[in-house]
Amino acid sequence: MNQSVTRLVFISLATIVLALFPVDLTVTRATPPQGRTAARSRGTQAGDLFRKNCARCHGADGAGDTPLGHTYDTPDFTDPEWWRKHSNITSTGNLVSIVSHGKGGMPAFDRKLTRAEIHHLVDYVRRFKNQKPSTNARCRSPKVTRNND
């Protein structure tokens, strides 16, 4: 009798705990989709990652025409001239390093994103290179320096 009461109390407590703290029992695929679907899925994933983590400064279109983009002098990824002038940092390895470790005012994302996600982001950013520059290309005024004479 003592064991059955103990078992009943345990089952009751377990039921209450499970009711108070719902557990997500979503079933996911063990393997990712193959072929074009996988590539499209990666593209969608990279686009979502870019919008969530990068568009605030770099703009959804990659032109960097945002208030924070202007504050941090964010590059216009749609400008072929920018890619030519900065060819020393636009290799995949360098871009992965910049996204991972940050640069200037840009934060590091190596603790927030996986290596695969960072590589997807770099591939996504490289797509902007082949787009026409934004028709609303921002005009950057020259930096003003003051002499303290």
One digit per residue, the tens of pLDDT, for the chain of length 149 reads 677 777 777 676 656 645 565 544 444 444 444 443 444 455 578 999 999 999 999 999 999 999 999 999 999 999 999 999 999 999 999 999 999 999 999 999 999 999 999 999 999 999 998 876 655 444 444 444 444 44
Q: Is 99 inside a domain boundary?
A: yes
List Cα–Cα distances, 147 to 141, 143, 144, in angstroms.
18, 13, 10
CA–CA dist 88, 10 (Å, integer): 65
Q: Is 144 inside a domain boundary?
A: no
CA–CA dist 118, 130 (Å, integer): 20
Query: CB burial class (10 A; 0-12, 13-18, 19+) of residue 34?
Result: exposed
Q: Is 7 inside a domain boundary?
A: no
Q: Given this model, what pLDDT does residue 96 score? A: 97
Q: Given this model, what pLDDT does residue 14 score? A: 58
Q: Is 79 inside a domain boundary?
A: yes
Q: Is 96 inside a domain boundary?
A: yes
CA–CA dist 9, 105 (Å, integer): 57
Q: Given this model, what pLDDT does residue 41 score? A: 55
Q: Given this model, what pLDDT does residue 39 score? A: 47
Q: Given this model, what pLDDT does residue 21 score? A: 55
Q: Given this model, what pLDDT does residue 23 score? A: 46
Q: Is 26 inside a domain boundary?
A: no
Q: Is 95 inside a domain boundary?
A: yes
Q: Is 34 inside a domain boundary?
A: no
Q: How many domains does the chain have?
A: 1
Q: Given this model, what pLDDT does residue 125 score? A: 95
Tell me the residue range of the domain where 116 lies: 65-131
Q: Given this model, what pLDDT does residue 54 score? A: 96
pTM, rounded to two decimals = 0.62
CATH number at residue 77: 1.10.760.10
